Amino acid sequence: METKILPAEAGKSLAARLIRAGEVVAFHTETVYGLGANAFSDEAVQKIYALKGRPADNPLIVHVHADYDIRTLIDGEPPYAAALRRAFLPGPLTMVYPSAGKVSKYVSCGLNTLAIRVPSSMAAQAFLRETDLPVAAPSANLSKHVSPVTAGHVFDDFNGKIPLILDGGACQGGIESTVLDCTGSIPQILREGLVTRTMIASVAGDCGVYRMKTGEKPRSPGMAYKHYSPRCETALCKTAEEALLLADAEKERGGVPVVLCESGVLPMLKGVQTLDLGDSGEEMARRLYALLRRGEREATLLIGIEPTESGGVMAGVMNRFRRAFGAQ
C-alpha cells in the first residue's frame, strides 16, 4: 500500500472518506500524531491494534470535534467535569467517563468507561468535523516506540501500512494529553500531561493523582507497559559526571555516545555529542520525542541526564523521560 502524506487541509476530505470506509488514517494533534479509525466499527478499531502491535487490554481514546455532542457517548457526568470541559476543551485533556456503550467494545477493552478527547489543533478539528464520527486513536507509533511529533515520524513507523498521513506540521505540545478519570467524586489524573494538576484543581476544587501500587491492576492500562523507547541502548544518569564516565566507556568500545540533557548542563559536557532538551518545561515537552528519535538514529548509547526543573508540565515530562530511559 502506498502511504500518502498530504497537508492536513488538502487531505481532510480523503481522510474522512477513508475513515468512513473503515480504513486507518494518521492525523496531527497539538500533542502527538494519532492513528485514527471509526470508533463505531469493530473491524476498523481492531486494525489499529494490529498495526501498532498494541496489547489488546490497552484501551483507546475517542477523538471528537468541538461541537460533537459527547453526551451521546457517555452515561452522565459529574458537575466538575462540565466545568473542566468548559475551561480546557478543546485542548490536551482526555476525560474518562462512564461509557454509554455506543462505540466498539474494542475501544475500551471491556472497561465500563470511555476516554474522550477534543483536540485543539486546527488540523485535527478540521479532520474531525469533516469525518463527523468519533475517531478512536492512540499515538501513531509502533507499540513501545517513541510517540511521533512530525508526519515524518509517523511515516518511519507506518510506511506502506496505512493509506494516509495528514500533515499538520510539528506538534506544539509534544507530550500526550493528560488523562483524567471523571467517574469519581473528585477528578483523578491517570496520566500526567500538559494540563496540570494545579490547573485542574483550580477549576474542579480538588484533583488527585493516581499512583499504581506494585501488583495492582492499573486503572489506566497503558501506564503498565514499556513505553517511549528509543531503539538503541540507553542509560539514565543524575549528573554530568556520571554521564561523562559512561560516554568515555562507550567511546572506548568503539561506540557513539550521545547525551540528552537540559540546556543548563551542556557546558559540563565538553567533548561529547549532546542533544539540548531546552530549559523550560514547555520547551522540554515540545522537544523530547523528536530528540529521542534523533538520538536513536545517531547513538549506539543514548545517555539521559534527569532534568532538574520541577512544577507545571515537568511531572508529565519526567514521567516520559524516565520511562524512555528504562526506569519504571
Give me the residues that bind ligand TXA (CB under 6 A), please. Answer: 29, 31-32, 34, 58-61, 92, 94, 96, 108, 111, 113-115, 117, 119, 137-139, 176-177, 179, 190-191, 219-223
Residue nearest to ligand TXA (CB): 222
Q: Quick one: 176 or 309, whose CB is closer to ligand TXA?
A: 176
Nearest position to Mg ion, beta carbon: 139
Question: What is the smallest separation between the CB atom of 319 and ligand TXA, expressed in angstroms?
Answer: 11
Q: Which residue has the cell 492499573?
A: 218
Q: Which three cell numbers stand for residue 98?
A: 462512564
Q: Which is nearer to ligand TXA, 29 or 104 (CB)?
A: 29
Q: Which of residues 39-98 bind Mg ion (CB under 5 A)?
A: none
Q: How many CB atoms lie within 10 A of CB 243?
A: 25
Q: Is 135 helix (H, G, I), strand (E, B) or coil?
A: strand
29 binding partner (options Mg ion, ligand TXA, none; Cβ < 5 to 8 Å by kind) = ligand TXA
Residue 230 contacts residue 324 (beta carbons within 8 Å): yes
| Contacted by 220, from ligand TXA, Mg ion, none: CB < 5 to 8 Å by type | ligand TXA
Phi/psi-derived region of residue 290, left when phi > 0, alpha when psi is between -120 and 50, beta in every other case? alpha
Q: Which does 61 bind (CB under 5 to 8 A by kind): Mg ion, ligand TXA, none?
A: ligand TXA
CA distance 33 to 161: 16
Q: Which does 98 bind (CB under 5 to 8 A by kind): Mg ion, ligand TXA, none?
A: none
Q: Which residues 122-161 are close enough to bind Mg ion by CB under 5 A? A: 139
Question: Which is closer to Mg ion, CB of 40 or CB of 225?
Answer: 225
Rounded CA separation 224/57 (Å): 11
d(CA 324, CA 304): 9
DSSP SS3 for 45: helix
- Specify the residue, 11 or 138, whose C-beta has the smaller distance to ligand TXA: 138
41 or 113, CB closer to ligand TXA? Answer: 113
Nearer to Mg ion, 17 or 322 (CB): 322
Phi and psi for 96 in degrees, rounded to 5? -100, 120
Which of residues 17 and 144 has its CB atom nearest to Mg ion in the complex? 144
Phi-psi domain of 18 (left: phi exceeds 0; alpha: psi -120 through 50; beta: other): alpha
Burial of 202-241, coded b for 16+ CB within 10 Å and e otherwise, reads: ebbeebbebeeeeeeeebbebbbeebbbbebebbbbeebe
Smallest separation (angstroms) from Mg ion to the CB of 149: 12
Is 38 among the residues that bind Mg ion (CB under 5 A)? no
Residue 188 binds which entry of Mg ion, ligand TXA, none, CB below 5-8 Å type-dependent = none
Residue 221 interacting partner from ligand TXA, Mg ion, none (CB closer than 5 to 8 Å by kind):
ligand TXA
User: CA-CA distance, 209 to 315, in Å (whole number)?
Assistant: 11
Q: Are 132 and 21 in contact (CB under 8 A)?
A: no
Q: How far is the CB of 120 from ligand TXA (least distance, A)?
A: 11
CB nearer to ligand TXA: give 92 or 278.
92
* Shortest distance in whole angstroms from residue 46 CB to Mg ion: 17
Q: How far is the CB of 259 from Mg ion (least distance, A)?
A: 25
DSSP code string of 76-118: ---HHHHHHHHHH-SSSEEEEEEB-S-S-HHHHTT-SEEEEE-
Contacting residues toward Mg ion, per CB under 5 A: 139
